[in-house]
């Protein structure tokens, strides 16, 4: 039976047995799974991980065991620190304080430095930040990795210079952690170094950069993000579209018009499917109304009128709980026009649909419809909804007159 199956079954005993495997890869994976399923009260699991963290011949196994103890909980991590420092806490557990953890970052044992970095990331104590920034230069890449990860938990701008330097680390894991931490901090100063990472050779780093740049409060990332829409990786392209939408929500009001124009210009030059698919996803599944509004607005300016997924999403958005999103969807459908839009909106006229959505559908049809639409609209002249009847009267009048 595989380690995954043992983990899924919660069989900690079998996973502990695997810590004695001749294969370092098996031991490392077993430690990782024990961190996922272990509990603080499970002392045999804690003891097994303590042995792996302090005596295993493979540094990656020791590192995985340290992380597993950290995942199990603070008490397990305390036992590791006691083991590595020789005990003698006299019942006061001094290592749980930020000062003791910071001191441990200078210990000879790299596993102790790793544990200290993890622990400082757990503590809500600002005094632990500078020692962690210093640990970004540690000689052991495992310590540098955990220091970068811990810096991200503080989301403190004081870590930016150190994290920026860590982007040049020789270990790609450290570089990814530093990029993530800068994205978490999210200030323009922290995000600026990520612009260059959009051309990085590591796909995951490009994705991290693309996903974080939407937090900027200035339009600088628009053009680089637009270029990222042509990235060979679909996950990078998807992250770039999400960030463009988020960026529109974040830029100052006085800049929003110029940024919108620039976004539309850049997105129009990208492949339609690359842009439309994530925009549709945002409009359909997005949890923030501002993002849905922007997705609805942009779709009407960059989608092809025959792109059924975009038209479908916009038509459904006519019933959005957010009135502005629904209005932007109607405006975009009007901008797109064409037979696909007509057919989809005609399907929205039935009484099973919300009244507001039906009224908006009628309004758009009055702007873009032809003879068939006119015939269909006349069927709703006596609709039960006054709002729909009013829109039908106006739309029919315009269509009979030959247009709006």
pLDDT band at residue 138 under the 50/70/90 scheme: very high
Burial category of 194 from C-beta neighbours within 10 Å (exposed 0-12, middle 13-18, buried 19 and up): buried
322 vs 271, which has greater pLDDT? 322
How far apart (Å, rounded) are the C-alpha atoms in residues 91 and 114?
23
pLDDT (0 to 100) of residue 54: 87
C-alpha distances in Å from residue 296, one per residue of 260, 314, 315, 320, 334: 13, 7, 10, 11, 12
162 vs 302, which has greater pLDDT? 162
Rg (CA), the chain: 28
**CATH, range 189-250:** 1.25.10.10
Q: Per-residue pLDDT tens for 198-214?
A: 999 999 999 999 999 99
Tokens matching residue 23: 């294969």
How far apart (Å, rounded) are the C-alpha atoms in residues 309 and 312?
5
pLDDT band at residue 403 under the 50/70/90 scheme: low
pLDDT (0 to 100) of residue 85: 67
pLDDT band at residue 76 under the 50/70/90 scheme: confident
95 vs 349, which has greater pLDDT? 349
Q: How big is the CA angle at 283 (ends 281 and 286), to the nearest 5 degrees? A: 80
Q: How big is the CA angle at 81 (ends 77 and 87), to the nearest 5 degrees? A: 130
pLDDT band at residue 86 under the 50/70/90 scheme: low
pLDDT (0 to 100) of residue 398: 87
Q: Per-residue pLDDT tens for 274-329?
A: 788 889 999 999 888 888 998 999 999 989 899 899 999 999 999 999 999 999 99
In contact, 215 and 183? CB cutoff 8 Å: yes
Q: Give the residue from 139, 148, 142, 93 showing the smallest Cα distance to 120.
A: 148
pLDDT (0 to 100) of residue 100: 77
Under the phi-then-psi rule, with left for phi > 0, alpha for psi from -120 to 50, and beta for the rest, what region is 345? alpha
Q: Per-residue pLDDT tens for 24-56?
A: 999 999 999 999 998 888 999 999 999 998 889
pLDDT (0 to 100) of residue 80: 83
Report whether pLDDT(88) > 60: no
Q: Per-residue pLDDT tens for 96-130?
A: 567 778 888 888 889 889 988 988 888 878 888 99
pLDDT (0 to 100) of residue 94: 43
Q: Taking residues 231-240, what's their average pLDDT?
A: 89
pLDDT (0 to 100) of residue 93: 44
Q: Taking residues 238-260, what's their average pLDDT?
A: 80
Q: Across the chain, what does the average pLDDT equal?
A: 88
pLDDT (0 to 100) of residue 87: 54
pLDDT (0 to 100) of residue 238: 85
Report whether pLDDT(393) > 90: yes
Residue whose entry in the numeric block shows the structure tokens 């994205």: 183
pTM above 0.85, yes or no: no
Q: Give the residue from 240, 166, 250 showing the smallest Cα distance to 199.
A: 240
Percent of the chain with pLDDT over 70: 95
C-alpha distances in Å from residue 294, one per residue of 27, 279, 281, 288, 291: 48, 9, 12, 10, 5
Q: Give the residue from 371, 361, 271, 363 showing the smallest Cα distance to 316.
A: 361
Question: From the CB of residue 32, how many other CB atoms can be counted at a distance below 10 Å?
Answer: 18
pLDDT band at residue 79 under the 50/70/90 scheme: confident
Q: What's the gap between Cα 97 and its chain centre?
A: 32
| Residue-range domain boundaries for the chain | 189-250
For residue 146, what are the contacts with CB-CB under 8 A and spacing of at least 6?
67, 114, 117, 118, 121
Q: Per-residue pLDDT tens for 283-294?
A: 999 888 888 998
């Amino acid at each position: 039976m595989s380690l995954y199956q043992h983990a899924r079954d919660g069989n900690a005993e079998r996973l502990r047995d695997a810590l004695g495997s001749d294969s370092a890869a098996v031991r490392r994976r077993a430690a990782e799974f024990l961190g996922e399923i272990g509990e603080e009260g499970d002392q045999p699991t804690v003891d097994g991980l303590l042995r792996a963290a302090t005596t295993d011949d493979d540094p990656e196994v020791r590192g995985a065991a340290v992380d597993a103890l950290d995942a199990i909980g603070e008490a397990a991590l305390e036992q590791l620190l006691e083991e590595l420092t020789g005990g003698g806490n006299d019942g006061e557990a001094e290592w749980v304080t930020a000062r003791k953890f910071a001191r441990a970052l200078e210990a000879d044992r790299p596993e102790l430095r790793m544990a200290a970095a993890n622990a400082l990331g757990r503590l809500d104590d600002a005094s632990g930040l500078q020692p962690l920034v210093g640990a970004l230069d540690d000689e052991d890449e495992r310590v540098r990795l955990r220091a970068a990860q811990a810096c991200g938990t503080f989301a403190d701008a004081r870590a930016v210079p150190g994290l920026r330097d860590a982007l040049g680390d020789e270990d790609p894991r450290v570089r990814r952690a530093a990029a993530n931490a800068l994205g978490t901090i999210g200030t323009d100063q922290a995000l600026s170094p990520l612009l260059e990472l959009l051309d990085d050779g590591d796909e995951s780093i490009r994705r991290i950069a693309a996903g974080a740049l939407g937090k900027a409060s200035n339009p600088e990332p628009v053009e680089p993000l637009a270029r990222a829409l042509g990235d060979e990786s679909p996950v990078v392209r998807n992250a770039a579209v999400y960030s463009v939408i988020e960026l529109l929500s974040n830029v100052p009001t006085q800049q929003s018009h110029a940024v919108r124009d620039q976004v539309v210009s850049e997105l129009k030059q990208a492949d339609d499917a690359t842009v439309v698919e994530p925009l549709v996803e945002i409009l359909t599944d997005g949890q923030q109304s501002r993002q849905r509004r922007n997705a609805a607005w942009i779709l009407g300016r960059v989608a092809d009128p025959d792109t059924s997924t975009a038209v479908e999403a916009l038509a459904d958005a006519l019933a959005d709980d957010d009135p502005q999103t629904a209005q932007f969807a109607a405006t975009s459908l009007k901008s797109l026009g064409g037979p696909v839009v007509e057919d989809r909106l005609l399907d929205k006229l039935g009484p099973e649909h919300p009244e507001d959505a039906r009224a908006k559908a009628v309004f758009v049809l009055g702007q873009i419809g032809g003879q068939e639409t006119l015939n269909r609209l006349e069927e709703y002249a006596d609709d039960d909804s006054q709002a729909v009847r009013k829109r039908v009267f106006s739309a029919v009048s315009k269509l009979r007159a030959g247009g709006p």
